[in-house]
Chain A
């Protein structure tokens, strides 16, 4: 059974940094592109970016490129999202997803709240 389990969310202050993790199981992690998607409290969905199966290429939403970094550790079957200089508008549920063009599996999501 494919599983994606995110962690690392919580309440953070504006300007802080945060790193989300997503542990994958049930499939060969190193065979797949992986992506991050977020959903605002108002239910708007936003694609954050993706990473090639070997980690050699990443692609980001331009509005987030300078603050967010996606990486992966195939030996640990883990996907990461490093968030820096977070803002109130980054408050959302963050999903780890399998795939690059369409997302056939999603994690349960992890909430990030940016507030002082």
Chain B
């Protein structure tokens, strides 16, 4: 199985701060990477697909990038409503595998 190592596991940041979360794939997964946000008590929501494409309705402060087998999710200016848990998912080789999650809190 492909391992997705997500970091950090938790993150405390201030409003308007730039936040970056990364996922390291254990092997090449191309652009078969998506990011999800789970707000407290809610279901996950798709943020980014194809490593860099913004899902419908997602604010432009969210962006995804790739460098080799490292994938990053960037929030350009953290807002209160961005608090929650973030997950990456690889869908290159079955079984699809999620990262361990990053819990984002306000400082």
Contacts and interface: CB of A to CB of B under 8 A. Distances in A.
Interface of A: 43-47, 59-63, 95, 100-109
Given A43-B101, A45-B101, A59-B94, A109 B87 contact: no
B90 to A, nearest CB: 10
Given A43-B85, A45-B87, A101-B91, A106 B97 contact: no
B36 to A, nearest CB: 8
A46 B98 contact: yes
Chain B contact-residue range equals 20 to 34
B43 A44 contact: no
Given A43-B101, A62-B95, A106 B87 contact: no
A47 B46 contact: no
Given A44-B100, A45-B98, A102 B91 contact: yes
Given A43-B85, A45-B87, A104 B46 contact: yes
Of A45, A46, A63, most B-chain CB atoms within 10 Å? A45
- Secondary structure call for the B interface: loop
A106 B101 contact: no
B102 to A, nearest CB: 11
Contacts of B85: 43
Contacts of A60: 95
A106 B49 contact: no
8 contacts: A44-B100, A45-B44, A45-B89, A102-B34, A102-B89, A103-B36, A105-B46, A106-B44
Contact of A47 (B43, B56, B97, B101): B97
A44 B34 CA distance: 16
